[in-house]
Structure 1
Amino acid sequence: MNTNKSYTTLKFELQEKFGVITINRPTKLNALNTEVLSELKELLTDLKSDDKFEMLGLILTGEGEKAFIAGADIAEMADMTPSDAYTLGQLGQQVTVLFETIQVPVIACVNGFALGGGCEMAMSCDFIYATENAVFGQPEVKLGLIPGFGGTQRLAKLVGRNNAKELIFSGRNVKADEALRMGLVVRTFATKDAMMAEAMKTLKSIAANSPFAVGIAKKVMNEGIDLTIAEGLQLEKRQFSGIFSSEDMHEGTKAFVEKRAPNFKGK
């Protein structure tokens, strides 16, 4: 993959083997339009399909201090037909699925507003870190809309059905402390710099483990969320037994017996 490729609405940086995607429309509070979503889809597809690109983790954040992603670009949406809206919704959902299914762990680092599509993008990551000034919400009903990039589905899985209904039906915003209590956010930080530093530290600690095993654990947990416990256990059993054929499993167990640090290859 060409990591030096430039984008109009995004910045992508590789720090060691960890990627940082920054939504870069600060004058529009990093709002999502078709161009942003198309560039995200292109970048994530490239990252996911390049077997030779040994990225070990990914951070998604927004440029500046005011907003992670303030929502979808309402000016672009105002005159859309139902067909246009279907295409936009499909594109937004494709991006969230790419975040959800890319093998490496993805941390959303939310600074400021994460509303509408911004909240939906954050929820498609593996977990969310937030600054104390972060604000989350799905305010679409205030515009005569509903969430279209997965909010009606993912929010309930994260905070429970009734909490999700209350948030989506009312359109109210929640600050970082309430989002933390709800389980939408896993950690909060006083500053964006502190959050980004801790997110990178977390990714590095995860990368010390087997990348192959982490990827399988992510896959099993994401797929199992919609299964019954019996179905989920069957899925886990199949993946648990299958991983015994991996190089990382043999290296990890051998290293433990030999009392040395493992040298994982991610396969």
Structure 2
Amino acid sequence: MKRTGSVAEVRQQVKEWKKQGLTVGLVPTMGYLHEGHKSLIDRAVKENDRVVVSIFVNPIQFAPNEDLESYPRDIEKDTELCTNAGASLIFNPTPEEMYPNGFSTNVVMNNLTKELCGKTRPTHFGGVCTVVSKLFNIVAPDRAYFGEKDAQQLAIIKRMVADLNFDIEIKGCPIVREADGLAKSSRNTYLSAEERQAALVLSKSIALGKKMVEDGERNAQTVIDAMKKCISAEPLAKIDYVSVVDALSITPIDEYKGYVLTAIAVYIGKTRLIDNFIVDIDTL
């Protein structure tokens, strides 16, 4: 497996693969890979002839007060995981390679970015859309793989691909959890032992809300209130949001009807974690 930070080298390699009639999958990441990322790579390897994993801590999706500098990085460990998973190429560019001097173009989405994480991180999804658009143009994959833990991001990427006519199939992959239920995240490494235990309140509240809906509760506020009560019982937890929205348009709804996303963001100490569940009411 090859690792490069060069846009030109990635493009040349992909062109050679496509001349051979090979399909290409892309797994965009910010590195510090875990089993959740591996599940994306595993699926990409299964469904494509060649797989590119991008590892890039994207500076333009971080606000000035966020954790850009402290975000965990371990490219050697990441390379080992990608190799063992069967990836073909790691694209690990520098910020200067992705955003050379004079860079002045951004991809901005209007509607789907206003709720959930977009409320408290107003510049975040502009950075995500810009870097993902660049990765799509650099790699030109047939398929790209994203985790469903970042459900709002996944909805935004799907909308962007449709709006901008990218000829790429977007694949959402299920949340991967620790044995005790906590959704896997690179930011879990920030947690102390006490905070790690407290963080279980996220998956507990998700399980509570999901069971309520599966048992027939359809009032969104009733579910929200119960989940907030569960989270607030943990002294180390501070709620950013608990929201129920249409899973495609990311607009708030009052009733569980159709395809629904219930999403939470919670601070455990200084660490902001997210989790969610999606239900299709018509299939329950």
**TM bucket normalised to smaller:** under 0.3
- Which of the pair has the greater relative contact order for Cα pairs under 8 Å at 6+ separation? 2
The TM-score normalised by the length of structure 2 is 0.25
Structure holding more strand per residue: 2
Structure holding more helix per residue: 1
